[in-house]
Homo-oligomer: A and B are copies of this chain.
């Protein structure tokens, strides 16, 4: 047992931290200003940051294997945390932003040679963006077998009909491709009914209806969260990813690393929040002493530190399990971090907001926006309650 990072990780951490200090944090203010007028796409300064990150070798760090940086989950995890400290900029700048990351993993792992050339290549180069269309308004998203969008084979084509929402990134005009999950084989066994197909965003019948809000935020600089309607959308049969009925399995494979990335980025947000909370508490005076001298605020700071230290270790261990025993062996831990992380980080952000008073809920600090994103992860990929139930079943089985 050893709690020190290896040298590859240490080296990349150092370079990434330097990139944050030299390029990312200094760009935050301008980013917000540009974002206010740049519609559904990335603010223009992002292009330079991407070029700079790539030049520094901080590119596609998330992707194992030959297509990317080739890091293990455990090596990438602490880098995701650092990116999470400036989550609107750093992940995109380093081409490590969801949902492209998961989509690239899917294409690298399950895509045909043609699919990889056509779609993985420009994604790896950061030239286009993509979306992942799974969640539906009419069914509980915790139960993936519920999905009702139809993907019907018709000769050499698939015909897609259905309604999706909260499809992150799909409002971005630079989003060129969607991976769509739907039901292709309704008579197959429960977990073999789904397929995934690639649908270019400009395919006729694909309607981007509106951007869904998250606590008032449109998240325009991330391409929003679209409601998308598929009306007799036709794509060539070659657009099927993997095999028919393989959609559920691909979705599962996509989940594990995604959870680790999400959780580590949230830990980065928590660290940023602690920093902001401390700085504000030191700077602000009320009733004759600084807020930092108030016992209750000290309690929040200490609790934040105590909770985030525990949480980070669990996420790192999960990454290690993914690397050593795989998705299945890490099942309990992958659920555990999904349950623990949003709740813990939400708590910390709430306290940081409270220390900032009215400013904390406003556009003048990043806290309220981070909070809204983190809170919505308490039900993304299924609400925490579903995951707890499943985790409890496994625990109970040990004693049956």
Which A residues form the contact surface with B (CB < 8 A)?
Answer: 1-6, 9, 74, 135, 137, 140-143, 146, 165-166, 212-218, 274-275, 278-279, 281-282, 284-287, 291-292, 294-299, 301-303, 305-307, 309-311, 313-314, 316-317, 320-321, 332-333, 336, 339-340, 354, 357-364, 368-369, 371-372, 375-376, 378-380, 383, 385-389, 391-393, 395-396, 398-400
Contacts and interface: CB of A to CB of B under 8 A. Distances in A.
Given A143-B286, A165-B358, A395-B274, A306 B340 contact: yes
A311 B213 CA distance: 31
Given A297-B392, A302-B391, 18 more contacts: A1-B320, A3-B316, A212-B363, A213-B362, A213-B363, A275-B399, A295-B298, A298-B388, A299-B388, A301-B395, A302-B339, A305-B332, A305-B395, A306-B336, A310-B311, A310-B336, A310-B340, A354-B379
A212 B362 contact: yes
A286 B142 CA distance: 8
A215 B141 contact: no
Contacts of A362: 166, 212-214
A400 B282 contact: yes
Given A215-B217, A294-B295, A320-B3, A361 B372 contact: yes
A379 B362 CA distance: 13
Contacts of A391: 301-302, 305-306
A364 B286 CA distance: 40
A96 B13 CA distance: 41
Interface of chain A, main secondary structure: helix
Contact of A3 (B302, B317, B336): B317
Given A212-B362, A354-B383, A320 B398 contact: no
Nearest to A319: B1
Contacts of A3: 1, 316-317, 320-321
A336 B305 contact: yes
A392 B281 CA distance: 11
A385 B295 CA distance: 9
A216 B369 contact: yes
Nearest to A333: B309
A74 to B, nearest CB: 6
A282 B396 contact: yes
Contact of A216 (B217, B285, B364, B395): B217
B310 A372 contact: no
Contacts of A321: 3
A56 to B, nearest CB: 24
**Of A274, A299, A354, which is in contact with the most chain B CB atoms at under 10 Å from its CB?**
A299
* Nearest 7 CB-CB pairings of A with B: A295-B295, A216-B216, A216-B217, A140-B286, A302-B388, A298-B392, A313-B313
A115 to B, nearest CB: 29
A282 B399 CA distance: 8
Nearest to A372: B215
Given A299-B296, A309-B336, A215 B368 contact: yes
A380 B386 CA distance: 30
Contacts of A378: 354
Contact of A339 (B2, B218, B306, B358): B306
B216 A213 contact: yes
B392 A379 contact: no
B400 A302 contact: no
Nearest to A4: B1
A215 B392 contact: no
A314 B320 contact: no
**Of A140, A275, A313, A378, which is in contact with the most chain B CB atoms at under 10 Å from its CB?**
A313
Nearest to A391: B302
B396 A281 contact: yes
Contact of A301 (B212, B354, B396): B396
